[in-house]
Amino acid sequence: MSVARDFILPNMETRAASSSDAALISAHRRAMFAEMRSANESVLATLERNSVAWAERMILEDKYAGWIVEEEGHAVASAGLLILDMPPHPLDPEGVQRAHLLNVFVEPGYRRRGLARALVQICMDAARRRNIRVITLNASDAGRTLYEGLGFHTSNEMLYSDTPNIPRDEKP
Q: Of the segments 34-38, 139-143, 144-148, 165-169, which one has the largest average pLDDT value?
A: 144-148
Model confidence at 166, in pLDDT bands (50, 70, 90)? low
Q: Give the residue-averaged pLDDT of 82-110.
A: 96
Higher pLDDT, 14 or 6: 14
Q: What's the pTM value of the predicted model, to 2 decimals?
A: 0.88
- Looking at residue 165, its pLDDT comes to 60
Q: Alpha-carbon distance 29 to 46, whole Å? A: 12
Model confidence at 38, in pLDDT bands (50, 70, 90)? low
Least confident of 6-15, 103-112, 130-139: 6-15
Computed over every residue of the chain, the mean pLDDT equals 89
Model confidence at 164, in pLDDT bands (50, 70, 90)? low
- Looking at residue 5, its pLDDT comes to 45
Q: Which domains does the chain have, with CATH numbers?
A: 2-149 (3.40.630.30)
Model confidence at 141, in pLDDT bands (50, 70, 90)? confident
- Looking at residue 8, its pLDDT comes to 56
pLDDT > 90: percent of the chain: 76
CB atoms within 10 A of CB 124: 18
Task: Report whether 55 contacts 84 (CB < 8 A).
Answer: no
Checking if the pLDDT of 57 tops 70, the result is: yes
